[in-house]
């Protein structure tokens, strides 16, 4: 009944009746060369109403009046064909039953069928084109098309289904103001052929020439078979062309949305070469579900992502501990909206500090956490060089107090997040994190299972170099860099956190897990790509300046301390040290006690650093081997050398 109340339905309904009349009448005209005999005229009049009723009934049966014809597609046209065939067959049956084909030409039936399909389908197609093109509808009927005055010339990399669909959407969405010049494929199998009238211009290797010749402004990458190294090659090939790049994200980012609507700028994650993480979330959920979980540093980049993943595992309580009010409030509000329907996880934000034993005792006594994920730490390397007392107090003493509290209240599992900077540390931050690793090693065997997970830098974390470079590029430079040979390990925040959860669930206590960080990334290449992704040319559009390594920084990071052999686990991206460094617990805890006394009394930072060097024998040895050009304060200025120049950190 709702259908019958729509004006559009009646317009199409009576239009179809009119079309069917002219189809049947036209079939007679064509068959008899416009010469009707009295007998043929009588037969036409007597069978006109039955054929219209039969065909309209078939059209209803095949849902020709339930669709929105402004969005008509192949399936709708197939229904038109089905309705036309069914109507003609039933009409033939009607003629055989009541007229035995007496005085009825079979040619009329065939002509009527063809006209019905063409005109009924044509009506639907015209409606679709009218709404799709609006004022430009009539431009489609001529041999030339008026292009908008201002548009961006783009190339589409890919010739598959996604590329074809993207072209149609870009062509439809005039607000994007794109003009597709051509398609690019990996090889040359289809070069010279066309997709919807637009040519396949060549392969990826032809990009620099094509971009220059056609003055391309953007390149849209939609080939689902491309790997990160292929995307990196494309960006590198067009490094001096000044074009911007956009990419179609993974399927999970495209669900329920169009291809063009999901086009986004390429980011560094697309170029890092990281394969998707495949996890056994069942063992993670079995570990967390129904339990009380505490996350320290819950307002930070790692801690907040931990809470997002943990809440999906349905813990009974999720306790958020942080000493910063605003980030804690934001993650609490976000988790309230992320909590899956039907889950009754109690989200408990706690303003507190891991350095205050009394506050920790109150939180543990009240909420009784069963699992602790320790992500709270001071991580900024140069800043900790200027604040050694705070680094020791937070990273060492805070970890010690938190770990002893976990033992006191019978926490089942304690997972500490560490860093590659703890390996042969040249910085105070790295040395304090190494001592923190030794703290949980020394406390193992007291009822709580202590686990350490060590990994490198994460993209997008607080204090990451990427936002700094982006701000400097946005302001037009100069981009300040440190040293040409700096390399770092990188992974995304979500990947790191998922692997931390997996390692934590696998751990039985006492392990030090290493996450597979892939190949180290030269910051030179990373920074050049950032500039290129902004549509600029390194060294030409953005001035480059080297400033030397900052305090505490190393040229190269490592994930393994000498003597720590590693073995594989059931997960290909998680390794485990089969030996933990042996420590003299008497000397170690004496050093922790000295830290306590110095913090409480004199606050002598020099004395603290001497204790730190005694607890971590490798501390500062790396710095002795740093060349003069890499040391803080040594400034190198780079000439404008075009492609050979780049940004380094």
The residues, ordered by sequence, that sit 6+ positions from 576 with a Cβ below 8 Å of its Cβ are 511, 512, 513, 514, 566, 567, 568, 569
The DSSP line for 575-609 is EEES-PPP--HHHHHHHHHHHHHHHHTT--HHHHH
User: Cα(24)–Cα(48) distance, rounded to whole angstroms?
Assistant: 8
Reduced to 3 states (helix: H, G, I; strand: E, B; else coil), residue 325 is: helix
User: Cα(504)–Cα(283) distance, rounded to whole angstroms?
Assistant: 10
User: Cα(23)–Cα(20) distance, rounded to whole angstroms?
Assistant: 5
Instruction: Yes or no: say if 261 and 220 are a contact pair by the CB < 8 Å rule.
Output: no
Burial group, residue 197, by CB count within 10 angstroms (0-12, 13-18, 19+): exposed
User: Cα(261)–Cα(326) distance, rounded to whole angstroms?
Assistant: 33
> Which DSSP helix (H) or strand (E) runs through 568?
strand 566-568
Q: What angle do CA 474, 480, 481 make, to 5 degrees?
A: 125
User: Cα(28)–Cα(34) distance, rounded to whole angstroms?
Assistant: 7
If one counts every other C-beta atom within 10 angstroms of the C-beta of residue 8, the result is 13
Instruction: Yes or no: say if 376 and 387 are a contact pair by the CB < 8 Å rule.
Output: no
Q: Where are the beta strands (DSSP E) in 115-160?
A: 152-157
Tokens of 565: 């052999």
Whether 285 is a known active-site residue: answer no
- The closest alpha carbon to 157, from 197, 213, 241, 216, belongs to 216
Instruction: Yes or no: say if 449 and 412 are a contact pair by the CB < 8 Å rule.
Output: yes
Sign of the Cα pseudo-torsion (303, 364, 505, 287, in order): negative
- The closest alpha carbon to 626, from 519, 482, 428, belongs to 482
Tell me how far apart the terminal alpha carbons of the chain are, to the nearest angstrom: 69
Which phi-psi region, left, alpha or beta, contains residue 434 (left: φ > 0; alpha: ψ -120 to 50)? alpha
Phi, psi of 350 (to 5 degrees): -130, 115
User: Cα(215)–Cα(553) distance, rounded to whole angstroms?
Assistant: 43
Instruction: Yes or no: say if 298 and 369 are a contact pair by the CB < 8 Å rule.
Output: no
User: Cα(164)–Cα(170) distance, rounded to whole angstroms?
Assistant: 10
Instruction: Yes or no: say if 6 and 102 are a contact pair by the CB < 8 Å rule.
Output: no
User: Cα(480)–Cα(468) distance, rounded to whole angstroms?
Assistant: 9
Place of tokens 């938190």: 402
Q: Exactly one of 379, 401, 413, 421 is catalytic; which is it?
A: 421
Instruction: Yes or no: say if 54 and 94 are a contact pair by the CB < 8 Å rule.
Output: yes
Residues annotated catalytic, as ranges: 421
């Amino acid at each position: 009944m709702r259908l019958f109340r729509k004006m559009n339905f009646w317009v199409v309904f009576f239009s179809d009746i009119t079309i069917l009349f002219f189809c049947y009448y036209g079939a007679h005209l064509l068959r008899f060369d416009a010469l009707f005999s009295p007998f043929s005229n009588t037969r036409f009049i007597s069978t006109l109403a039955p054929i219209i009723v039969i065909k309209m009934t078939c059209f209803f049966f095949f849902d020709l009046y339930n669709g929105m014809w402004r969005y008509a597609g192949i399936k709708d046209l197939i229904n038109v064909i089905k309705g036309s065939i069914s109507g003609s067959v039933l009409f033939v049956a009607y003629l055989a039953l009541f007229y035995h084909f007496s005085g009825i030409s079979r040619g009329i039936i065939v002509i009527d069928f063809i006209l019905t399909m063409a005109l009924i389908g044509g009506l639907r197609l015209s409606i679709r084109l009218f709404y799709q093109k609006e004022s430009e509808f009539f431009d489609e009927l001529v041999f030339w098309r008026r292009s908008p005055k201002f548009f961006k010339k783009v190339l589409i990399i890919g010739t598959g289904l996604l590329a074809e669909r993207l072209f149609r959407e870009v062509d439809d969405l005039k607000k994007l103001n794109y003009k597709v010049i051509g398609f690019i494929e990996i090889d040359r199998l289809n070069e010279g052929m066309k997709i919807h009238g637009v040519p396949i211009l060549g392969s990826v290797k032809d990009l620099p020439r094509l971009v220059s010749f056609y003055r391309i402004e953007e390149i849209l990458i939609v080939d689902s078979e491309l790997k990160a190294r292929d995307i990196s090659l494309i960006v590198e090939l067009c490094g001096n062309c000044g074009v911007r790049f956009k990419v179609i994200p993974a399927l999970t980012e495209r669900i329920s949305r169009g291809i063009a609507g999901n086009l986004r700028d390429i980011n560094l994650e697309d170029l890092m070469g990281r394969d998707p993480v495949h996890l056994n979330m069942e063992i993670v959920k079995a570990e967390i579900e129904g339990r009380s979980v505490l996350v320290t540093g819950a307002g930070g980049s790692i801690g907040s992502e931990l809470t997002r993943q943990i809440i999906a595992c349905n813990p009974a309580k999720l306790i958020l501990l942080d000493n910063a009010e605003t980030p804690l409030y934001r993650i609490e509000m976000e988790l309230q909206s992320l909590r899956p329907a039907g889950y009754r996880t109690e989200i408990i934000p706690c303003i507190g500090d891991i350095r205050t034993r009394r506050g920790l005792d109150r939180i543990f006594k009240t909420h009784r956490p069963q699992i602790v994920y320790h992500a709270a730490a001071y991580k900024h390397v140069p800043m900790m060089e200027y604040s050694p007392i705070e680094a020791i107090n937070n990273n060492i003493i805070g970890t010690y107090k938190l770990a002893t509290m976990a033992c006191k209240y019978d926490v089942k599992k304690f997972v500490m997040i560490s860093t590659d900077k703890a390996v042969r540390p040249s910085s105070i931050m790295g040395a304090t994190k190494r001592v923190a690793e030794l703290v949980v090693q020394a406390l193992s065997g007291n009822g709580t299972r202590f686990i350490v997970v060590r990994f490198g830098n994460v993209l997008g974390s607080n204090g990451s170099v990427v936002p700094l470079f982006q701000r400097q590029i946005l302001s037009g430079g100069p981009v300040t860099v440190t040293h040409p040979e700096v390399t770092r390990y990188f992974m995304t925040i979500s990947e790191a956190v998922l692997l931390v959860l997996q390692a934590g669930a696998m751990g039985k206590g006492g392990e030090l897990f290493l996450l597979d960080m892939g190949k180290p990334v030269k910051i030179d290449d990373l920074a050049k790509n950032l500039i290129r992704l902004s549509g600029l040319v390194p060294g030409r559009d953005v001035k480059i300046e080297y400033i030397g390594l900052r305090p505490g920084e190393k040229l190269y990071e490592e994930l393994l301390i000498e003597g720590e052999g590693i073995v594989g686990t059931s997960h290909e991206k998680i390794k485990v040290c089969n030996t933990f460094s042996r420590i003299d617990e008497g000397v170690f805890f004496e050093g922790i006690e000295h830290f306590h006394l110095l913090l409480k009394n004199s606050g002598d930072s020099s004395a603290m650093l001497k204790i730190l060097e005694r607890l971590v024998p490798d501390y500062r040895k790396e710095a002795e081997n740093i060349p003069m050009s890499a040391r803080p304060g040594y400034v190198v200025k780079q000439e404008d050398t075009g492609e050979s120049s780049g940004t380094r950190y």
